[in-house]
Amino acid sequence: MTSYGPTLTRYLGDAHRGTPRLEAELAELIVEMGTAAKALAREIRRAALVGRLGLVGEKNPTGDAQKKLDVYSNDVVVSAFEDTGLVAAIVSEELEQLRVVSCASAARYILCVDPLDGSSNTDVNGSVGSIFSFYRRSAEGDCTDVETEFAGGAELAAAGYVMYGPSTIMVFSHGDGANGFTLDHDVGEFILSHEAIQCPPRGPYFSANLGNYHAWSDDLRGFVDDLIAGGPATGRPCSLRYTGALVADLHRNLLEGGIYLYPPDENHPRGKLRLLYECAPMAFIAEQAGGRATDGADRVLDLTPASIHQTTPLFIGSREMLDSFERRAARGG
């Protein structure tokens, strides 16, 4: 007989009573993200049947072509959190400006979200995800300066992601390790399925867009060559696994070991991934699971955003593989 873990709601209730860092309001917001994820999981499964595949003919604020599911996912997530009364503002990949939601004293959090990571996969039935994080506000009430309140990712109250694949899984951390919950569609609940995730120190995979290989630095190309050949970073040849969805690639590497690379190149000298709602939340999860995340030189969680859509290079995953890359970069190739 299968033994089920606790539901997301029960787990967070127990964690709130035992962890001062996890306020009741923050637990409520994580549950709300789970509720939004249930709605998105249903609509992603049905997208081909209800006309939600394809482009809308516009670009989002960072220049990516918007899919119909991008717009729908953003509407679902924003609407869910607007009604909580606990969120002062929302930063989303699909919103050009920070959206102020509430200036009430109870609205003590800022939500940063990529509602549909990897949306280019939707038309081919590939894996996609959602990335989210919550910052505690440094002040209550007045929202005049809310856009200046973002600190480094190390100050996050909680962060996580949802992966919509063969099953829907939600992984999050409130600073006390990383845990994963799988959606049981029959009962409509997220159930604890991956307790205390620990990223292996090295692994058999790497994730990178090799189409940009010739635009990378010599030291990075040399590192990737070593991964393929089985150099000191791994001791054996690594297999390429790159889905085009950060959530899916990092989830594999967290569970089985590996490294994800999205370096700068000639077209994106400051990187392409967004710091606030892609890199910092995933770095928070990686570190809570025993992994690492850098921009190639500095810890991602030490970076302070100067704008809500700021980009950064990203190197994330198994600790020893990151260490090996940094040693090679320090040698200059």
Q: Could you list the active site residues?
A: 64, 70, 93-94, 114, 116-117, 278
Angle at 289 between CA 271 and CA 122, to 5 degrees: 55
**Residue 306 and residue 311: Cα distance in Å, rounded?**
10
Task: Taking the CA atoms of 275, 149, 178 and 86 in sequence, report the sign of the dihedral they define.
Answer: negative
Tokens 């040849």 correspond to 237
Angle at 292 between CA 297 and CA 282, to 5 degrees: 100
Alpha helices in the chain (DSSP H): 8-18, 24-46, 68-82, 218-229, 246-256, 280-288, 319-331
Of 186, 163, 158, 177, the closest CA to residue 116 belongs to 163
Cα dihedral 106, 21, 289, 45 in deg (nearest 10): -30
Of 160, 137, 157, 156, the closest CA to residue 147 belongs to 137
Beta strands 205-207 and 239-240 are parallel
Judge whether 159 and 285 are in contact, CB under 8 Å. Answer: yes
Q: What count of other Cβ atoms lies within 10 Å of the Cβ of residue 125?
A: 12
Angle at 125 between CA 122 and CA 127, to 5 degrees: 75
Judge whether 178 and 289 are in contact, CB under 8 Å. Answer: yes
Q: Which secondary structure element, helix H or strand E, spans residue 267, and what is its range?
A: none
